[in-house]
Every structure is written in structure tokens, then in C-alpha cells.
Amino acid sequence: DSGVTQTPKHLITATGQRVTLRCSPRSGDLSVYWYQQSLDQGLQFLIQYYNGEERAKGNILERFSAQQFPDLHSELNLSSLELGDSALYFCASSLSELRAYNEQFFGPGTRLTVL
Amino acid sequence: SQQGEEDPQALSIQEGENATMNCSYKTSINNLQWYRQNSGRGLVHLILIRSNEREKHSGRLRVTLDTSKKSSSLLITASRAADTASYFCATDKRVIIQGAQKLVFGQGTRLTINP
């Protein structure tokens, strides 16, 4: 158990809909990262937040957005869903930014299925 | 697109044998990390090697890094059935903003240990 929690575990929805994925980082971790894992694209970094502020951006679509709240939990919002958005979405967290490198601890993931 | 490419894509060996997986990447890095993923579950951090290190050990794991060839290898000695999983290398590219971390994952090697 990494200490990172994600809800829900599974989500089934229809095209065009909007969903929110939630992540609680490990206690004390200030950074939260979101990743998408699909069969064709592999594991792709989406976005990083540090202490409530966006810190790094990856291959995140404009239909997707994220935020980190004062209690450090984070939400990933996916809108106008398409079939191709079906994937495993992982959240990870790490310690403060003061280290030159940070081991990331991954949550169990949310499996999104768009029908 | 993926920065890292693992080789082989799949590896099947007998329990007790050693397993070697390779990773190549394209751009300069801060560090390289190896992660394990059991089927459909979250990633588990195995080991991190910094760009100024050439070899690192952790238990039955041995990682090498050759920055001149932009490649790394992960060796698992005396393999066990529980080592069956997918293994990913992830590179941490140099970024300008302090604290920003963009892990770029390879496509992974699927390792099967036969009893």
C-alpha cells in the first residue's frame, strides 16, 4: 500500500459525459501527479501540482483539467468524453520540491470506461 | 511519444534464472527510475539511479546507466514467481521550473517467471 488513495476504482460512463477522479496523496507529500495509461499510448504524464499550484504539464488534453485543493487532495476532471479516453488514470505523490529528485508513489488507479 | 524504449517487450524465464531488461532514452536526464506494475495495478518504485551514477544495487536488483549510450539495464537475479510483472523505466528530464518533475515512461517489459 503506497499511501496514495484514488476514488472511484472503476467508472463507466457514456461519450460526451464529464467525470471527476479524486486523489489523496500520502501524508506530507506536497506534489501530486496525474498519469494516463492506455494500450496504445502507454503511460503518459498529464500534469503535476505542487502545494496547490500547477508545476508541470504533459500531454493533457484541453478537455481535461485538474486542481489541487488546500488540503492537498487533487481532482482530475475529464469532459466531453470520447471512446479513446478509456484508460487507467493514476495519481502519484512525492515529497517537497527541495530535493533534486523525487520518488513518486502511485495510487491504485481509476479504470475509466467510456461506452 | 515515449522517451524510453524497453527491450525486450516480453521476457519469459524459469524461476531462479536472472532477468535482464534494457531501456534506451533520447534526451539528457536528471535520473532514471525503474518501476514495477502488477497486472492492472499501480506502479511500485524499485530503484533510482542518478545521471552521475553508473551502477546501483538494491537487494536482488542491479541497475546500470550509460549516459553516453543513453541506456540503462535492470537485472533481477534469482528470479521468483512473484517477480512476474511489467517493468518500466522512467526518465526524469531536466526542467527549468524548480520542483517540476515530468517522468517519461517507456512501453515496459512484460516479465513472466515460470515455476
**B100 with B92: CB under 8 angstroms?**
no
**pLDDT the model gives residue A98:** 55
Q: What is the mean pLDDT of chain A?
A: 92
Q: Name the band, by pLDDT with cuts 50, 70 and 90, for residue B99.
A: low
Beta bridge mates, B22: B7, B73
Higher-confidence residue of B109 and B94: namely B109
* Bridge partners, residue A64, by sequence: A78
* Of residues B98 and B53, more confidently modeled: B53
Per residue in B54-93, pLDDT (tens digit) is 999 999 999 999 999 999 999 999 999 999 999 999 998 7
Helices then strands, counting H and E runs in chain A, come out as 0, 11
**Interface check B99 vs A, CB under 8 A:** yes
DSSP string, B22-79: EEE-SS-EEEEEEEEE-TTS-EEEEEEEETT-SEEEETTEEEEEETTTTEEEEEE-S-
Q: What are the pLDDT digits (tens) for B16-65?
A: 999 999 999 988 888 899 999 998 788 999 999 999 999 999 999 999 99
**Phi/psi of residue A84, each to 5°?**
-70, -10
Give the pairing of strands A31-38 and A42-50: antiparallel
| CB of A108 less than 8 A from some CB of B | yes
- B107: which chain A residues are within 8 Å (Cβ-Cβ)? 42
Cα A5 from Cα A92, distance rounded (Å): 9
| Whether A70 contacts chain B with CB within 8 A | no
Pick from B43, B103, B105: which is nearest to A42 by CB?
Answer: B105
Residue B96 has pLDDT above 80, yes or no: no
Question: Around A80, how many Cα atoms within 13 Å sit in the side-chain half-sphere?
Answer: 5
pLDDT at residue A99 greater than cutoff 70: no
Residue A68 CA: distances (Å) to CA of A10, A32, A105, B24: 21, 8, 17, 33
pLDDT in the model for residue B95? 63
Residue type, B7: D
β-bridge partners, A48:
A33, A56
B6-19 residue pLDDT tens? 889 999 999 999 99
Q: Is A70 helix (H, G, I), strand (E, B) or coil?
A: coil
Which tens digit of pLDDT belongs to each residue from A15-65?
Answer: 999 999 999 999 989 999 999 999 888 899 999 999 999 988 998 999 999
DSSP 8-state symbol, A39: T
